[in-house]
């Protein structure tokens, strides 16, 4: 009953969003534990669940803002498919799943990838709206690492820190909701029983907090936050500058390629940056929105149409050039035989 009472303090739309997301992650676990499922098939299932999770995350932002009497429509449509079929660090899903050495490791991978797809979609939708940031929503029971991050207002470009199997979510807003029981670290600590406090914060840490210590200082001092990172931002070096990129959507049929071609026109089409890398690199919200549109996360139908036209023109020009080369080769061959 304790968890149910905490949930009553949340935004109703956030509670409903969380419950739907739990269904997606549960389905991913079931798929991962099925015997005889190949890695290729599992990757397809997880990609489909990522798409469902991303769509739900995008559709949940407006209701959560409306509950707070906030009106902030996005600057464009967000492409839910952009968050499907790719691992959090930009590699293909199949490549990641092949690295699972144990059933527990596979469980962690499929759950985290579905949850990250939803969080990435939410972060892009927040960045696409004027003056909107987010507050971290706990879903009790929560670990001490998450508890100390709750109740704080984060700017749109501050990455969402999470650990494997973390189920915390974004609450889009314009100010901190720290008065909410589910987003205030001190209130969350006080809501736990003594044994629960000891389990979550360690015995010594919990006793320090009961004596008046600040939960954030206790947890940080004990370095419990180790293991928290932003999805899509890791020490893995993808290019010479250490920027994470993905090849998802970068074929000529992909939205990211088409929009880059349409927006850059004669410029080179680059590899696709992950959303978190974009938000970290952008100097301001306007630049973040421009880059999200450039890399196909915010849909720009006009740019995509221009891109398809330019791609078709390039193909026709390439075919004509190859035809001229073949004719020249045939003429050269005939001349050599006479």
Expressed in angstroms, the distance from the first to the final Cα of the chain is 95
DSSP states along 3-28:
HHHHHHTS-HHHHHHHHHHHHHHHHH
- Distances in Å between the alpha carbon of 256 and those of 282, 294, 298, 299? 18, 7, 10, 9
DSSP SS3 for 92: strand
> How many domains are there within the chain?
1
Rounded to 10 degrees, the C-alpha dihedral 47/50/52/53 comes to 170
Domain that holds residue 281: 1-131+231-338
pLDDT in tens, 71-110: 999 999 999 999 999 898 888 899 999 999 899 999 999 9
Residue 139 covered by a domain: no
Residue 195 covered by a domain: no
Residue 329 covered by a domain: yes
Residue 141 covered by a domain: no
What predicted TM-score, i.e. pTM, was given to this entire model? Answer: 0.69
- Phi and psi torsions of 333, nearest 5°: -65, -45
What is the structure's pLDDT at 44?
A: 95
Q: Are 78 and 125 in contact (CB under 8 A)?
A: yes
Nearest CA among 161, 164, 183, 171 for reference residue 64? 171
Question: How far apart are alpha carbons 47 and 172 in whole angstroms?
Answer: 25
Contacting residues for 192 by C-beta, under 8 A, at least 6 apart: 200
Q: What totals of helices (H) and strands (E) does the chain contain, helices first?
A: 14, 9
What is the structure's pLDDT at 40?
A: 94
What is the structure's pLDDT at 244?
A: 60
Residue 272 covered by a domain: yes
- Distances in Å between the alpha carbon of 162 and those of 113, 159, 231? 12, 9, 7
Question: How far apart are alpha carbons 26 and 6 in whole angstroms?
Answer: 22
Question: How far apart are alpha carbons 94 and 247 in whole angstroms?
Answer: 13
Residue 199 covered by a domain: no
Residue 106 covered by a domain: yes
- Distances in Å between the alpha carbon of 60 and those of 135, 217, 282? 15, 33, 25
- Distances in Å between the alpha carbon of 73 and those of 14, 66, 118, 125? 18, 11, 19, 9
Residue 138 covered by a domain: no
pLDDT < 50 stretches in the chain: 1-9, 177-179, 181, 223-226, 233-238
Question: How far apart are alpha carbons 291 and 273 in whole angstroms?
Answer: 9
């Amino acid at each position: 009953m304790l968890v149910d009472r905490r949930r009553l303090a949340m935004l109703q739309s956030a509670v409903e969003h969380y419950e739907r997301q739990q269904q997606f992650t549960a389905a991913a676990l079931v798929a991962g534990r099925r015997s005889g499922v190949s890695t290729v098939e599992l990757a397809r299932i997880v990609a489909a669940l990522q798409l469902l999770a991303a769509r739900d995350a995008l559709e949940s932002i407006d209701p959560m803002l409306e509950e707070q009497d906030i009106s902030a429509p996005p600057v464009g449509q967000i492409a839910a498919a952009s968050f499907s079929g790719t691992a959090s660090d930009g590699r293909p899903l199949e490549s990641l799943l092949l690295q699972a050495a144990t059933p527990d490791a596979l469980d962690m991978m499929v759950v985290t990838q579905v949850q990250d797809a939803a969080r990435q979609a939410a972060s892009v939708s927040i960045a696409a709206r004027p003056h909107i940031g987010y507050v971290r929503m706990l879903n009790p029971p929560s670990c001490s690492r998450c508890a100390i991050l709750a109740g704080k207002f984060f700017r749109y470009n501050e990455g969402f820190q999470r650990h494997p199997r973390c189920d915390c979510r974004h609450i889009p807003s314009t100010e901190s909701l720290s008065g909410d029981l589910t987003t205030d670290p001190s209130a969350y600590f006080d809501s736990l029983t003594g044994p629960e406090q000891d389990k979550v914060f360690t015995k010594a840490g919990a006793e320090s907090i009961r004596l008046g210590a600040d939960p954030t200082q206790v947890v940080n001092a004990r370095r419990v936050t180790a293991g928290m990172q932003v999805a899509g931002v890791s020490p893995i070096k993808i290019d010479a500058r250490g920027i994470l990129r993905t090849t998802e959507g970068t074929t000529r049929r992909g939205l990211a390629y088409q929009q880059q071609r349409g927006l850059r026109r004669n410029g080179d089409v680059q590899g696709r940056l992950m959303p978190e890398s974009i938000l970290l690199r952008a100097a301001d919200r306007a630049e973040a929105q421009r880059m999200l549109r450039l890399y196909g996360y915010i849909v720009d139908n006009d740019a995509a149409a221009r891109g398809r036209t330019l791609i078709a023109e390039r193909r026709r020009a390439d075919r004509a050039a190859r035809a001229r080369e073949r004719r020249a080769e045939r003429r050269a061959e005939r001349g050599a035989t006479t």
